[in-house]
């Protein structure tokens, strides 16, 4: 493991403590990233680095490229790839990091632990005949969307850097190869637990659960039934995440169990996108022909995925299998009610309502029905409503909308808080800027051609999604010939 080990620790502040490697070796394989011929830094997330107490300012561009390509490995790092399984579109399969290497776990002085992972860094024992590489467009797409999600206040993995490899990758055409450096609180997935269960080793499942609990939910270690408390906590974090996605119109696109992080962070930005016109059946994934992962189905799929996790944890809930099944059924039965409560409260906040009252659910439903019937833009409609006065656009002049608007104003005046505070609540929950798919594709196409200025400009705007933006090009939904209706699993 000593190839190209470089002492970046003293200069950059790396502090590796690779706790995952103290788990049974069945859960991972130690392996080095494949070297690349001519790495070149495309982008470095200095703000993220600083938040992790890392300082790359003294490194030259070429040193940064060598570091984030995997050609140079910091001292203390022990690269490995994780094993996991997953239900992909409902079908179980054994998987693993087929083109990703975790460089190590960086531990800050404050005690925060971060996985630092390369994507597109070469063949691993789990590559399944793949080349282990990635192309520039999908790596930059993950950078854009993950950083936008962070700015929107949604739990997410983040992107630290993207480098070109200097090597072409053959997909539908010959495309520039690239490596993304991703940061996560961990990469433990529902699929990781499924992999352990597939080994028919209850002790391995228990060890993994204990590790995940200590890493992410240490506050529940004193619970009378730790496995049950763990499952309830994971379910709660997933409900919060999906509600947050729906707040901003985000559609993940591939909610397979291997893309569901135990920590409650959004992970794996493949065929994801933000909805323009409000339609609960919106799908962007090119391979989701049946709408399994449509916008409105995301909560149902999260519950389905959690049922798969419950199946793995059954031996840990209770020694009596009947009791274990009852625990699982009772917890999962709470999902729909908990989700509905949190979703309704979220939607109420988008409408400036502080406390749910009788009739609020109908008020919300009537607005969404109007939006769907009139092909209203999801983001812009709620942002328009977040103004002091009634929005002055043609679509809001209909009798149907005016009647709804009057009902809503009566309801807002029933708040104990004044209208100014109500409006502030709306502005805090309704972004002005989202990474609209047609703009994402436009800046990616420019970047692939070597022009990164549109990318940097777009990222600068996305940092402040709740501020009014004078640049209308980022606010407007696509015209018909701009609309990008399909995204692909390139990440």
> So which residues are the catalytic ones?
258
Do 385 and 411 meet the contact criterion of CB atoms below 8 Å apart? no
Mapped onto helix, strand or coil, the DSSP state of residue 400 is helix
Q: Strand pairing partners for 168?
A: 176
Cβ atoms 100, 123 nearer than 8 A: no
Provide the pairing of β-strand 5-6 with 80-82: unpaired
448 CB-side CA count, 13 A:
19
Residue 238 contacts residue 217 (beta carbons within 8 Å) = no
In 8-145, DSSP assigns E strands to 28-30, 40-44, 73-74, 80-82, 85-88, 91-94, 100-107, 113-119, 134-135
Strand positions, DSSP E, 247-322: 250-251, 273-274
Phi, psi (deg, nearest 5) at residue 391: -60, 135
Q: What angle do CA 283, 288, 289 make, to 5 degrees?
A: 95
Residue the block writes with tokens 């409408």: 351
Whether the Cβ atoms of residue 89 and residue 191 lie closer than 8 Å to each other: no
Give, in order, the Cα–Cα distances in Å from 54 to each of 14, 66, 185.
7, 17, 16
User: Residue 290: exposed, middle, or buried by beta-carbon count in 10 A (0-12, 13-18, 19+)?
Assistant: exposed
């Amino acid at each position: 493991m000593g190839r190209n080990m470089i002492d970046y620790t003293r200069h950059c502040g790396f502090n590796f403590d690779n706790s995952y490697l103290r788990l049974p070796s069945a859960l991972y394989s130690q392996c080095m990233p494949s070297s690349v011929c001519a790495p070149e830094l495309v982008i470095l997330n200095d703000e993220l680095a600083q938040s992790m107490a890392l300082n790359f300012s003294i490194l030259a561009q070429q040193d940064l490229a060598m570091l984030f390509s995997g050609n140079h490995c910091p001292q203390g790092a022990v690269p490995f790839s994780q094993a996991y399984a997953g239900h992909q579109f409902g079908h179980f399969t054994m998987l693993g990091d087929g083109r990703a290497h975790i460089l190590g776990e960086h531990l800050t002085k404050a005690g925060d632990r971060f996985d630092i992972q390369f994507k597109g860094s070469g063949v691993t024992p789990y590559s399944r005949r793949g080349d282990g590489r990635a192309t520039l467009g999908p790596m930059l797409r993950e950078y854009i969307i993950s950083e936008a999600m962070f700015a929107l206040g949604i739990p997410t993995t983040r992107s630290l850097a993207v480098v070109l490899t200097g090597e072409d990758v053959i997909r539908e055409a010959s495309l520039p190869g690239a490596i993304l450096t991703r940061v996560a609180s961990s990469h433990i997935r529902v699929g990781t637990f499924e992999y352990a269960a597939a080994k028919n080793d209850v002790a391995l499942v228990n060890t993994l659960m204990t590790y995940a609990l200590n890493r992410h939910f240490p506050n529940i270690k004193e619970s009378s039934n730790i496995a049950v408390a763990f499952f309830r906590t994971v379910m709660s974090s997933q409900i919060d995440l999906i509600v947050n996605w729906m707040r901003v119109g985000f559609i993940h696109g591939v909610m397979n169990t291997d893309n569901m992080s135990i920590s409650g962070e959004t992970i794996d930005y493949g065929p994801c996108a933000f909805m323009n016109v409000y339609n609960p059946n919106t799908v962007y994934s090119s391979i989701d022909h049946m709408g399994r992962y449509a916008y409105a189905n995301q909560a149902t799929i999260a519950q389905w995925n959690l049922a798969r996790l419950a199946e793995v944890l059954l031996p840990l809930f209770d020694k009596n299998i009947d009791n274990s099944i009852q625990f699982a059924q009772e917890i999962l039965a709470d999902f729909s009610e908990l989700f509905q409560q949190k979703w309704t409260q979220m939607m109420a906040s988008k409408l400036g309502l502080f406390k749910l009252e009788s009739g609020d659910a109908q008020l919300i439903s009537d607005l969404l029905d109007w939006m769907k019937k009139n092909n209203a833009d999801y983001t812009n409609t709620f942002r328009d409503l977040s103004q002091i006065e009634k929005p002055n656009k043609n679509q809001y002049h209909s009798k149907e909308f005016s009647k709804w608007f009057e009902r809503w104003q009566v309801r807002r005046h029933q708040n104990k808080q004044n209208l100014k505070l109500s409006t502030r609540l709306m502005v805090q929950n309704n972004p002005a800027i989202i990474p609209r798919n047609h703009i994402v594709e436009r800046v990616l196409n420019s970047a692939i051609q070597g022009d990164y200025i549109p990318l940097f400009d777009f990222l600068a705007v996305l940092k402040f999604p709740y501020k009014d933006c004078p640049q209308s090009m980022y606010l407007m939904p696509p015209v018909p010939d701009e609309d990008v209706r399909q995204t692909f699993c390139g990440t």
